[in-house]
Structure 1
Amino acid sequence: MSGTNQNRGENPSQLSGHLQYVKGAASEMIGNTLDSASWKDYGRQDKEAAIGQMRAAKQQGDEEMDYSARKASSLSAEGKLQNVAGGLTGCGGMQERGSEKEKVAEQKTTEGW
């Protein structure tokens, strides 16, 4: 029923994964409201696929990320924004990435690299 960008041979995407997760949550909610097992299952499958896509996108981003070439100030600002956005949306991965960037920015500032 559900598909991810990965299944179509495209690069994994955080945005696409988040959208698919919302779609799955909505389907699951409809299933709960209508007491429909098929809607609930569809929603759960979509959410699971979305989580997989978000994890793959994070891993790909981690592999491509070169913090050494980035300014501490931009890493810090980006990290703070990701932390806030993650907190507002309830996305632990976004908060984790934001905290990581803030930590690297602080090290760069403290150690002068």
Structure 2
Amino acid sequence: MSSMGASDSGSNPSMLHGHAAYVAAAAKETVGSYTSTDMQNAGSADKQAAVDEMRAAKQASDAQGEEIGKNQTLGKVEQSLGSATGCEGMEEEGAKRQA
């Protein structure tokens, strides 16, 4: 279904890769809405795979008891990107980094 998820290749899920994949998939889905239903559907599927990867990465970090690093600048960027792409998880994580 998707070629973007790191977990598809057997590697550990990554929050950073998941975010990057989500942004790329959202762009693909948007372009597909103007050009091709197949491309739009592929973007939607890739977006879901990216969300799944981010959830898996979050669960893995929660299980290890890792705390989100506080970084005001990174938090603002992450929150802004999340808002622009419609990724609620990115918005929430960005807000936590700023706290």
TM-score normalised by length of structure 2: 0.74
Higher helix share goes to which structure? 1
Do the aligned partners of 1:82 and 1:94 also contact (CA within 8 Å) in 2?
Answer: no
Match of 1:71 in 2: none
Are 1:98 and 2:90 counterparts? no
Do the aligned partners of 2:75 and 2:95 also contact (CA within 8 Å) in 1?
Answer: yes
Are 1:19 and 2:11 counterparts? no
Q: RMSD of aligned C-alpha atoms?
A: 2.1
Unaligned runs of 5+ in 1: 68-74, 103-113
Aligned length: 90
Give the whole-Å Cα distance in 2 for the aligned partners of 1:66 and 1:16.
Answer: 18
TM-score normalised by length of structure 1: 0.66
* Larger Rg computed on CA atoms: 1
Percent sequence identity is: 32
Deviation beyond 3 Å, 4+ runs, structure 1: 79-83
Higher relative contact order, structure no. (Cα contacts within 8 Å, ≥ 6 residues apart): 2
